[in-house]
Each structure stands twice: as C-alpha cells, then as structure tokens.
Structure 1
Amino acid sequence: MQKIIMSPSRYVQGAGEVGKLPEHVGKFGTSALVLMSGTMMRTKADELKANFEAAGIKFTPEKFNGECSKVEIARLQKIVKEKGCDVVVGVGGGKTLDTAKSVAFYEKLPVVIAPSIASTDAPCSALAVVYTEDGVFDEYLVLPKNPELVIMDTDIIKEAPARLFVAGMGDALATYFEAQATVDSNGTTMSGAHPTKSALALAKLCYDILIEDGLKAKLAIETKSCTPAVENVIEANTYLSGVGFESGGLAAAHAIHNGLTVLTECHHMYHGEKVAFGLMVQLIMEDKPMDDIEEVIDFCLSVGLPITLGELGCSEPTPEKIMAVAVSASDPGETIHNEPFDVDADVVYAAIMAADALGRLYLGEY
C-alpha cells in the first residue's frame, strides 16, 4: 500500500520576510511574474519593485482579477510568455496563490508563495481549486509538486482583517477530522496514495493548537498584535493544515463547502467559514459523541465561525436549495466518499438539515 507525504521544499515564517523576497526568488530565476491581490498591489508594489530591481531581477507585477478561473490562468500564461518570465510569485490570499501555482504548473516554472493572510491551507499544497468566472466550484487541479518556497510574513499577516484569520482557523479545524475519516475508510489523499501517520499526527497537532490558542490569537489579531498564540495559529492554519490535509486526506467537510458554492447567497462567505459548517455536517454524518461536537461548536462560537445556514447567508434553506447542495457535495468524484460509509445525496441532505438545527439550538434560535 503506497503512502506519500508532501510538503513545500521550504517554509519560512517571521517578521519582515517579504522584504527578503528577491533574495529568495533569485534562487529560482531572473525574471519574475509577481501576481498580487488588490491590497498587496496598492501597499507593496512600489517596495517590491525597488527591492527586485536592486537585486537585478526583472519585476513584472500583475493584479489578480479576483477569481482562480481558467480565464484568469490563461490571461497570466500569456503575460508570462510575452515577458519571458522564468519564475512565478504569488502575493496575496488563497485564490491569488492558487492562480499563481496554476500558471507556474502550465508554464513549467518554479513558484514562490507569499500569503498576505493566514486564511486557508492553500499556500503549502500541490493543489489549486479552480472556480468558474461566477465563483462556482469547477475542479481541483492536482499539481505534480508543492511550491518551492512558502513565506509567511507575520508583519503583513497581523494587519489583515481578523475575520480572514478566523476563516483560516475554520479551514484548519476540519483537517484532523477529515484525515481521520480517510484513515478509517482506507481512503486516498489528493496524491492518490494513502495517509501517513506523520500527516495524521500533524493534523491532530493542528487541531490541538486551535483549541488551545485560537481564541487568544483572534483577540491579539484584532489589536494588530503578533503574540506567541498568533505565531502558533499561523503555523497551524498554513503549514500543519496544509500538510495535514494533503497527506492525510479530505472528506465530507470540504465536499460540503464545494456543494455550498452552488448557493449564490453564500458566495460572500470565505472558504474556511463554509468549511467550518461543513465540519458540523461531517460530525453529524459520522454520529460523533456530543462531547466532540460540543468542543467544535464551543470553539466556533468563541472565535465567530458560522454554525448555521443562516449565518452563511442562506436564510431560507428550502428543500430544493439544500438538495442541490447535497447533490453537488455527493458527486462521485467528491472527497465525501472518503467517509467510512456509503454516502449519497439523501444522507448529505439529512446531515445538513440536522447540523443547521443543532447550530440554531446553540444560538438560541431553535
């Protein structure tokens, strides 16, 4: 039985690391396409331009258009060819980074990732989530390798909105439970191999850090401070969750997230916020003990993660809407089939409705 553990070649976390970006990028090329989110383009483009030029590296900045879609990837591939870029750099949020990874893959170039937020586990993975231009989940693009380098600049990350940081915790919160489901079902990871014990251990460490430091970190981030708890949660959200999901496996929580993308009223919610509710659904499907479920609910309530459909924007969860989510989430190619039991749309529908009812009970709405 083949087992594989995957990770970026190097992970660097610390204050002021983006200022050293040309030093890192220079190890891989001399002409860089630097894809930036709108915020990073406004706040960092001039500084990066000066730093890259001082290092003798050609700097080609591009603003990310907002969606990791096939159209956006193709647009950037054209620029890479026209400018003769030999390395791709992504600076921004999860979709910016996934787009940079996708462009690098299609152009067969090295990629350096510098997240501006700790909102997903996307930075470390050999995976990109591709959406339609309208923001509906399209496909997972499985890449042959992880990024050459991931740089987490805590000076930048602490300045990001606290909601994004909390969304990262929602994404990371599911990592252990999905990895354990994959182990229990003898399922496979995104690499097509089976989970490793190392990945499961990292996923459990990720969960333990969130439970211990999550609330402390959220409160610190709200004051734009970087405390030991913030450092720990950045590592959990990014590296531990990234390696944990990729080499441990995905299951129901992320499939529910993908299903929720069919509801336009949920499009304003962040990835990790939808994953957090997806985890609630997974725990209901697995009939976990109430002690386990309550620990997750208490954590979500403490940091502000959604536990109901209403909090996700779906204030009128009609049977037709929720069945559409369930059908999408239970597609034959979805990760929900890493659960250690048979899953179909009816099973998912029932679990979504039950999870929503439980969440409303804890919010005092039921």
Structure 2
Amino acid sequence: MIAIARACRQSGAVTYSGGTSTIAAFSLARACLDTLLTEGESALQDVNQGITSSAVKHIVEANIYLSSIGFESGGLAAAHAIHNGLTLHEGCRNVLHGEKVAFATIVQLVLEKASDEEIAQIIDFYKRIGLPVTLKELGITSSEIDKLMVVAEASCSQDSPMKNLPFEGQPMDVLEAILVTDKREQ
C-alpha cells in the first residue's frame, strides 16, 4: 500500500531487491491502492456470487503483481513489522497474514501521524470489505498491556522492517498507536 512505499521512499530504505525505492515502485503502490479502493468492493461481491468480472481480475492483478513488484522495489515498513509482532499474540494466531497487515497498516498511519482523512478512507474501505479495524476483530479480546507490549517490542526488533520508517519507531510509540487504532472504531 502507498503508506508503506511512502515510508520506505522517505527513509531511503534498502529494498529486498537491494536498491532504494524507485519512482516505479511508488507508482505501483499508488496503482495498487487506487485499484483496491475503486474495484475492491465490487470484486468481493462478484467473487461471492461466483462471477469472474473485470473487477475481480483487476484485484487479482493488484494483489499478486502490483503488490509483489511494489514490495520488491519499494520495501516493507511498520505495517509488516507490526504483523510480525502480532504473530506472537495467541489471540490472533489463526488470523490471516493480510488481515494482520491490514490492521497494522492503520497502526502505521497513526504512527506516521497521517491525516485523519487518509486514515478514515482506509478504515471505511476495510469496514466495507470486512477487514479488521479493531483488536477484537483480530481475535484479541483482552487488551492486556503486557501482551500488547510484547507485540510492540517484537515489531521494533533489530532486523525488523520498522527501521524503514523515516523516523525511529520505538516500542512505546507502537503500543500507543495500536491502542489509538483500536479505540478509533470501538
């Protein structure tokens, strides 16, 4: 998504292909987000009805091609670092990778102090297509701070993509952003 590519571009992060984020990667991230926002909801409805529409084909292209090339040439940041931390919480062990990254993308936007408009746009989209926007929707029904702190600390480990933010992400900041994200939609 564009927030991840933007963070890597601003920080000068080294990508998985060994260079720094490219103009093309940023453009692919923008195209991926635009495709998801404009066609995601109708594609989901079509899939649920067993219809292979152009919207479905575009979403498949966005999810497989645009996001893959974008990640290799653009990099990963806080959203994937937080996903990695969430895998340690027993409440969301059965939650899909994309669902954890979706929630963590909102957390990254909060960490970056993105505009309320940008955050609201993503949350509204997630709600329409059924992606999690709260800890409870991730399967975390208890907001025990010590367990969430484990998530935050793991998110900021030495080799974590958290280092690709244009500022230093600290565990307390991540914990606070997780709690703020969760409270936005309660």
* TM-score normalised by structure 1 residue count: 0.50
Residue 332 of structure 1 deviates from its aligned partner by 1.3
The aligned counterpart of 2:54 is 228
| Cα shift readout 1:125-161 (whole Å, capped 9, x = no counterpart) | xxxxxxxxxxxxxxxxxxxxxxxxxxxxxxxxxxxxx
Counting matched residue pairs gives: 186
Q: Which 4+ runs in 1 deviate beyond 3 A?
A: none
Aligned to 2:27: 201
Q: What is the CA-CA distance between 1:192 and the residue it aligns to?
A: 3.0
Counterpart check, 1:250 vs 2:70: no
Equivalent residues in 2 for 1:130-209, closer than 5 Å: 175-209=1-35
Equivalent position SS for 1:268: coil
1:317 maps to which residue? 143
Shift of 1:359: 2.7
1:236 to partner: Cα distance:
0.2
- Cα distance in structure 2, aligned partners of 1:228 and 1:290: 32
**1:196 Cα deviation from its structure 2 partner:** 1.0
Partner of 1:304: 130
Secondary structure of 1:237's match?
helix
Partners of 1:261 and 1:244 in 2: CA distance: 23
Letter in 2 for 1:291: E
**Contact 1:263/1:321 (8 A) holds in 2:** yes
1:315 partner amino acid:
T
Contact kept in structure 2, 1:195 and 1:249, CA below 8 Å:
yes
Counterpart of 2:156 in structure 1 is 330
**Residue segments in structure 1 that go unaligned for 5+ positions in a row:** 1-174, 361-366
**1:259 & 1:224 partners in 2: Cα distance?**
35
* Separation of aligned partners in 2, 1:188 and 1:176: 17
Q: Which residue of 2 aligns with 1:54?
A: none
Q: Distance in 2 between matches of 1:332 and 1:274?
A: 21
How far the C-alpha of 1:191 sits from its partner, in A, is 2.6
For 2:132, the aligned partner's letter is P
Maintained 8 Å contact 1:176/1:244 = no
CA drift of 1:310 comes to 0.5
Tell me which of the two structures has the higher relative contact order, counting C-alpha pairs closer than 8 angstroms and 6 or more residues apart. 2
Distance 2:82 2:176 in 1: 13
Structure holding more helix per residue? 2
For 1:292, what is the secondary structure of its paired residue? Answer: helix
Q: Is 1:347 aligned to 2:176, yes or no?
A: no
TM-score, structure 2 normalization: 0.98
Residue 355 (structure 1) shift: 0.8
CA–CA distance in structure 2, aligned partners of residues 317 and 263 of structure 1: 11
Amino acid at match of 2:121: E
Residues 1:294 and 2:120 aligned together: yes
| Aligned equivalents of 1:266, 1:185: Cα separation in 2 | 30
CA deviation after TM superposition for structure 1 residue 306, in Å: 0.2
Q: Which has the larger radius of gyration?
A: 1
Q: Give the whole-Å Cα distance in 1 for the aligned partners of 2:10 and 2:39.
A: 28
Do structure 1's residue 263 and structure 2's residue 89 form an aligned pair?
A: yes
| C-alpha separation in 2, matches of 1:268 and 1:359 | 22
Alignment gaps of 5+ in structure 2: none
CA distance in 2, matches of 1:261, 1:180: 25
Q: Which amino acid aligns with 1:278?
A: A
| Structure 2 CA distance for aligned equivalents of residues 273 and 199 of structure 1 | 23
